[in-house]
């Protein structure tokens, strides 16, 4: 829109802004129509490109799971380990430390970082578990992996404490500890 100098002075600033805003809206509409038309023309190309990209990513993931030079897969997970031995004192004194000794074993060398966990279920009920890191490229040497620990347990109340020792995924044993008051 062209204005003469006299028309420009007669218009208020608001009218000039309204006229430019209206023309800006028209420009946006024209640009949006151009984008829609370009998208319609390129949609087939984009679809083919996306398919190729997805196939490339899948192939890359498949190759990255293989160890170089071998056709085996790598596995790394944390799992429960068998507790093969537990030594829980029969009787202890309140507010005195008692030693709970545990041993966990696994039958192959793919296991490492064996660790133990004591979980309090309620005031007098506890669970003892062992965990380890399992890492393999397909085969594991038949070497026994052993982990030992001693837990310093301090009972604060008198009574009978129950310890659920998880020997394996399906087997558990319950051991008790009687806590007596100080003499």
- Which pLDDT band holds residue 74 (cuts at 50, 70, 90)? confident
Q: Mean pLDDT throughout 139-152? A: 92
Q: How many CB atoms sit inside 10 A of residue 108's CB?
A: 14
Q: Which residues contact 36 (CB under 8 A, 6 or more apart)?
A: none
With a pLDDT cut of 70, the percent of the chain lying above it is 63
Residue 117 predicted with pLDDT over 70: yes
- The residue out of 35, 64, 93 marking a domain boundary is 64
pLDDT, position 140: 87
42 lies in the same domain as 82: no
175 lies in the same domain as 85: yes
12 lies in the same domain as 52: yes
DSSP string over the chain: ----HHHHHHS-HHHHHHHHHHHHHHHHHHHHHHHHHHHHHHHHHHHHHHHHHHHHHHHHHHHHTBPTTS--B-EEEEEE-EEEEEE--SEEETTS-EEEEEEEEESSTTEEEEEEEEEEEETTEEEEEEEEEEEESS------EEEEEEEEE---S-EEEEEEEE-SSS-EEEEEEEEE---
pLDDT, position 55: 67
| Domain at 160, CATH number | 2.60.40
Is residue 84 domain-resident? yes
Range of the domain at 167: 75-180
Q: Mean pLDDT throughout 53-68? A: 65
25 lies in the same domain as 95: no
Residue 17 predicted with pLDDT over 80: no
**154: phi then psi, degrees, rounded to nearest 5:** -120, 100
Q: Residue 82: is it exposed, middle or buried by C-beta count within 10 angstroms (0-12/13-18/19+)?
A: middle
Is residue 69 domain-resident? no
**68: phi then psi, degrees, rounded to nearest 5:** -60, 130
Q: Check residues 56 and 108 and name the one with the higher pLDDT.
A: 108
96 lies in the same domain as 52: no
Q: Mean pLDDT throughout 88-101? A: 95
User: 0.75 exceeded by the pTM?
Assistant: no
15 lies in the same domain as 38: yes
Is residue 123 domain-resident? yes
Which pLDDT tens digit goes with each residue over 161-178? 999 999 887 888 999 999
């Amino acid at each position: 829109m062209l204005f003469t100098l006299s028309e420009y002075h007669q218009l208020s600033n608001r009218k000039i802004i309204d006229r430019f805003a209206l023309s800006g809206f028209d420009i946006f509409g024209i640009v949006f129509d151009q984008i829609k038309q370009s998208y319609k023309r390129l949609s087939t190309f984009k679809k083919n490109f996306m398919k190729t990209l997805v196939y490339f990513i899948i192939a890359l993931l498949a190759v990255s799971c293989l160890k170089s030079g071998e056709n085996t897969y790598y596995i790394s997970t944390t799992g429960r380990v068998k507790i093969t031995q537990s030594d829980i004192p029969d009787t202890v004194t309140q507010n005195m430390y008692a030693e709970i000794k545990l041993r966990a074993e696994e039958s192959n060398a793919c296991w490492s970082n064996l660790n133990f966990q004591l979980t309090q279920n309620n005031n007098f009920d506890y669970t003892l578990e062992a965990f380890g890191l399992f890492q393999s490229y397909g085969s594991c040497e038949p070497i026994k992996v052993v982990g030992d620990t001693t837990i310093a347990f301090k009972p604060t109340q008198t009574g009978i404490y129950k310890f659920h020792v998880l020997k394996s995924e399906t087997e558990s044993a319950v051991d008790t500890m009687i806590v007596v008051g100080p003499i």
